[in-house]
Structure 1
């Protein structure tokens, strides 16, 4: 289970960095259409949501399978037909973003996530925060959530990139 998790996280991080690298400095801060985030804002949101502090927070032994909620997380967050509202604490700012600084921040967040996937006891239940509607997650589920949530935003970044190339 751990080896597969680490591989999935590494693959997602690599895809994210490759895609972000393909944006020009100007495109990072260009809004593809009214009401959309810029690529820089999406990356900022990913770094805020991807901070794996929750994984290192307070935990308790779990009384269920550590991956029990992963399917539900995937079904919700990889359903690109539904629009979601981001919690205020992970909303991006309106600031201009520097491409290299964003890439560095994403690399650092992803290194922490890979390290967590490699080292923490995955079966423990995290107690410091619950995603509304899901209840408490295990460390494995939080790592998977961050990974799956990022896949959702990779899809969004691909749409932004395509829109900017045709503009």
Structure 2
């Protein structure tokens, strides 16, 4: 349990720390053609991770398989830097001006909420309020790791955006 809490806090803190490095103008600057801004990337993670937090805290049923069955596949898919995915419309960020302080506060609240959920819930139970395309219904454990791996993927992209904006 402590390992999951540490991994969750580490990756979400890394996200917050990386976003904090951007200056106000850079948050909404497109670093290269076809890229989201840092603000859009952060908003995407806020939408996705807060959605997963709701699912984790939502209705859960008995699990009729190993609670970690999908972890290897989720990790393989989300950490594959060659794979390109299209964001579902529900978590697609708006093209607008983002406020860095608001983004950071939302990310902090999600980090705290996930930490609380990991500490207090039975992670072996299956989340039944939302079925993911490809994966189906995830256990709470798998959902937490989906957040971890999804965030790791985008932290890498956020660092790339930062480096691109600061290389000129």
**Shorter-normalised TM-score: what interval?**
over 0.9
State the 1:43 CA deviation.
0.4
CA distance in 1, matches of 2:11, 2:136: 25
Determine the structure 2 residue equivalent to 1:45.
44
Moved over 4 A (4+): none
1:77-96 equivalences in 2 (<5 Å):
77-96=78-97
Determine the structure 1 residue equivalent to 2:140.
139
1:4-153 equivalences in 2 (<5 Å):
4-51=3-50, 52-153=53-154
CA distance in 2, matches of 1:116, 1:149: 18
Q: TM-score, normalised by structure 1?
A: 0.97
CA distance in 1, matches of 2:44, 2:164: 20
Question: What number of residue pairs does the alignment pair up?
Answer: 166
1:76-126 Cα offsets, whole Å, 9 max, x none, are 000011111111000001110111111111101111111111111101101
State the 1:35 CA deviation.
1.6
Stretches of structure 2 that go unaligned for 5 or more consecutive residues are none
Q: Give yes or no for the alignment of 1:154 onto 2:155.
A: yes
Determine the structure 1 residue equivalent to 2:166.
165
Q: TM-score, normalised by structure 2?
A: 0.96
State the 1:5 CA deviation.
0.6
RMSD: 0.8
CA distance in 1, matches of 2:79, 2:92: 19
Stretches of structure 1 that go unaligned for 5 or more consecutive residues are none
